[in-house]
Amino acid sequence: MPTRLDTRASDFEHGFRQLLEAKRETSDDVNAAVAAIIADVRARGDDAVIAYTQRFDGLALNPETLRIPESEITRAASQVPPAEHAALERAADRIRLFHERQVPTDDRFVDETGAELGYRWTPVSAVGLYVPGGKAAYPSSVLMNAVPAQVAGVPRMAMVVPTPRGELNALVLAAARIAGVTEIYRIGGAQAVAALAFGTRTIPAVDKIVGPGNAYVAAAKRQVFGTVGIDMVAGPSEILVIADGANDPKWIAADLLSQAEHDETAQSILITDDERFANAVARAVEETLPRLKRVAIASASWRDFGAIIVVRTLAEGAALVDRLAPEHLEIATDDPDKLAALVRNAGAIFLGRMTPEAIGDYVAGPSHVLPTARAARYASGLSVLDFVKRTSLVRYDAGSLAALGPTAATLADAEGLGAHALSVRIRLGRGS
């Protein structure tokens, strides 16, 4: 049964802390296994990647078949029904429209001393896109990762996607083509992350790896960080719904289950100020579960990690949201902006009764790659800014160096860095 909490209960804080501290992320044995895989890929390159692909995906490959040829991408994409292909294109257009507004601009200015200062933005040279291919195929993840990179101007996008027993998902390949990705490898798991990070004879290394995956992928991204950049370590999906009693319980139940069906370790939480509504939603969840194709997964998620919290006021609930820092937050009230203004920590906020989180997974526009496991306290969702780098620009002339150089030299002396001080003073004619 899901956790039931009430802020009026004397033991609420204890129960809420248990909810916060419940572990759903990578275990130590996963970390050890991933470390061994990464070390093997670094040592043996293609041979290790091929061996693990055979072992985990039941797919026999060689260096020539690791990459999916463009002819195969074209053939698979052509098999997508026209309505589904049109839906992918419309989703890509929506994502592109949103992210084009995020492209940062360069700037330069001259200050009062005559020093010229500024910065410029340049795209990352090569990005690895990880696309899940295990319990479900996610062409939407291709678009949500690749389109922002495309908008940022990344010149090389290398995609990896597991193809168990050689089965290619036509929608995934069609989405890749729409987003401008043509370098695609039929591999997944920790071995794919390692190949992207360190490179093999067949797979050139990238500079940054983005995209969600299972516990092994998350652990691998954490372990290769520093060699390459990563977007984030994505954990199991989460949704938190703040709803008053004016909602249809069936709607809110569907919203909660929209994330529960992702994974057994996903988490769905309802916060409401109406106990009768809370009970109605709990009943609606139980009535809806048997209708889902992924009933076993959603049932396990709801049973083990679901929660219903009854609060005195929805404003009190907003304070709990900040402590939970959810990946997705729905505010299903007449005035959602009022509550949203009280929330600092959430990956994405869906405002109003007619804005289910599922719309954000596909066509809203912002990337659905969002911080999980309370990382919304300090992190943001994937955006154009993840695919660009800012470089500072500095130009001094004799006048500006005369104005500010002595201050720099004084600070260098204070830190005991004589060469620093000398490099300034020698230009001012005060050193030799």
Same domain, 194 and 73: yes
- 387 in any annotated domain: no
Same domain, 226 and 329: no
User: CB pairs under 8 A, 24+ apart, for 336-345?
Assistant: 339/242, 339/314, 339/315, 342/315, 342/318, 343/318, 345/321, 345/374, 345/376, 345/377
∠ at Cα 206 (203, 210), nearest 5°? 110
Give every CB contact of residue 341 below 8 A, 6+ residues apart in sequence: none
- Single out the residue of 302, 297, 293, 296 nearest to residue 252, CA to CA: 302
User: Tell me, what's the pLDDT at 1?
Assistant: 85
Q: Specify whether the CB–CB gap between 357 and 350 falls below 8 A.
A: yes
Same domain, 44 and 117: yes
Give every CB contact of residue 415 below 8 A, 6+ residues apart in sequence: none
* Residue of 85, 99, 262, 328 marked active site: 328
User: Tell me, what's the pLDDT at 213?
Assistant: 86
Query: Within the chain, what is the greatest distance between any pair of CA atoms?
Result: 84
The distance from CA 270 to its chain's CA centroid, rounded to whole angstroms, is 23
pLDDT tens-digit map of 284-332:
999 999 999 999 999 999 999 999 999 999 999 999 999 999 999 999 9
Same domain, 422 and 316: no
In CATH, what number is assigned to the domain containing residue 186?
A: 3.40.50.1980
Same domain, 204 and 77: yes
Which structure tokens are listed for 264? 């057994």
Same domain, 197 and 71: yes
* Residue of 238, 261, 264, 327 marked active site: 327
Average pLDDT for consecutive 10-residue bins of the chain (432 residues)? 94 94 76 96 98 96 96 91 97 98 97 98 98 76 97 98 90 95 96 98 98 90 97 91 98 97 94 98 98 96 97 97 97 97 98 98 96 94 97 98 97 98 94 62
Same domain, 268 and 177: no
User: Tell me, what's the pLDDT at 212?
Assistant: 87
User: Tell me, what's the pLDDT at 136?
Assistant: 59
How many beta carbons lie within 10 A of that of residue 351, not counting itself?
16
Same domain, 85 and 186: yes
User: Tell me, what's the pLDDT at 197?
Assistant: 98
Told to judge if 264 belongs to the known catalytic residues of this protein, a careful annotator would answer no
Rounded to whole angstroms, how far apart are CA atoms 273 and 424? 65
Told to judge if 328 belongs to the known catalytic residues of this protein, a careful annotator would answer yes
Same domain, 214 and 263: no
Task: Give residue 373's region: left, alpha or beta (phi > 0; psi -120 to 50).
Answer: left
pLDDT tens-digit map of 161-205:
999 988 889 999 999 999 999 999 999 999 999 999 999 999 999
- 371 in any annotated domain: no
∠ at Cα 237 (383, 23), nearest 5°? 120
**Domain range holding 314?**
3-22+235-364
Same domain, 264 and 180: no
Same domain, 16 and 43: no
**């495309």: which residue's tokens?**
150
Give every CB contact of residue 131 below 8 A, 6+ residues apart in sequence: 138, 141, 142, 145, 159, 160, 161, 172, 211
Final residue of a structural domain among 186, 212, 230: 230
Same domain, 356 and 414: no
Domain count across the chain = 3
- 207 in any annotated domain: yes
User: Tell me, what's the pLDDT at 431?
Assistant: 64
Q: Specify whether the CB–CB gap between 89 and 226 falls below 8 A.
A: no
User: Tell me, what's the pLDDT at 366?
Assistant: 96
- 169 in any annotated domain: yes
- 384 in any annotated domain: no
- 313 in any annotated domain: yes
